[in-house]
Amino acid sequence: MLWFAGGFQVNRYSWAAMVSIISLLVASFPVQSQIGGWDVGIEFPQDDDSNPFQVREDGSVSVEFFVYNDELLPITVEFGYEIPFNGEGDGPESENIAAGGNKTFTLVISGIDVWEYQADSKEDFTISVTLVSRASIPQPLPETKEASGELQIPRVYSLEVDISDPVGPMNSGSEMSLQVTVSNLGNVVDRVGSVEVSDNCPLLSTDNGLEILTTRDIQSGQSSSANILITASQSHPQRNCDVEVIISSNGAANSGGSEISEDEARITIEPPPANQEEPDETEGPEDTVEIVSSNLPFMGPVMTISLALFAAIGSRKGAD
The DSSP-derived string for 90-145 is E--SEEEE-TT-EEEEEEEEE---GGGS-TT-EEEEEEEEEEEEETTEEEEEEEEE
Residue 265 falls inside a structural domain: yes
Same domain (yes/no): 135, 166: no
Residue 132 is part of which domain span? 35-152
Same domain (yes/no): 117, 49: yes
Residue 293 falls inside a structural domain: no
Closest CA to 235 of 178, 177, 171, 176: 171
Same domain (yes/no): 127, 171: no
Same domain (yes/no): 83, 192: no
CA angle 53, 54, 58 (to 5 degrees): 130
- Determine whether 18 is exposed, middle or buried from the number of CB atoms within 10 Å of its CB (0-12, 13-18, 19+): exposed
Same domain (yes/no): 172, 251: yes
| Side chain identity at residue 87, one-letter code | G
Residue 208 falls inside a structural domain: yes
Closest CA to 263 of 189, 170, 181, 176: 181
Same domain (yes/no): 129, 235: no
Same domain (yes/no): 78, 181: no
Same domain (yes/no): 50, 146: yes
Tell me the whole-structure pTM to 2 decimals.
0.67
| Predicted confidence pLDDT, tens digits, the chain (320 residues) | 444 444 444 455 454 545 454 444 444 444 444 467 999 999 999 999 999 999 999 999 999 999 999 999 999 999 999 999 999 999 999 999 999 999 999 999 999 999 999 999 999 999 999 999 999 999 998 899 999 999 999 999 999 999 999 999 999 999 999 999 999 999 999 999 999 999 999 899 999 999 999 999 999 999 999 999 999 999 999 999 999 999 999 999 998 888 999 999 999 999 987 755 444 554 444 544 444 444 444 455 555 555 555 555 555 544 55
Strand order through the sheet with 88-90: 38-42, 61-69, 102-110, 88-90
- Determine whether 81 is exposed, middle or buried from the number of CB atoms within 10 Å of its CB (0-12, 13-18, 19+): middle
CA 194 – CA 46 distance, rounded (Å):
36
Residue 233 falls inside a structural domain: yes
Which CATH number characterizes residue 207's domain? 2.60.40.10
Closest CA to 114 of 140, 151, 143, 160: 151
The residues facing 266 across adjacent strands are: 242
Residue 314 falls inside a structural domain: no
**How many domains, the chain?**
2
Q: What are phi and psi of 210, to 5 degrees?
A: -85, -10
**pLDDT at residue 289, rounded to an integer:** 43
Local structure of 237: helix, strand or coil: coil
CA 123 – CA 152 distance, rounded (Å):
7
**pLDDT at residue 97, rounded to an integer:** 97
**pLDDT at residue 202, rounded to an integer:** 87
Same domain (yes/no): 148, 171: no
Residue 230 C-beta-side C-alpha neighbours within 13 Å: 31
Q: What are phi and psi of 173, to 5 degrees?
A: 80, 10
CB 130 within 8 A of CB 39: no
Evaluated on CA atoms 86, 90, 96, 100, the torsion sign reads negative
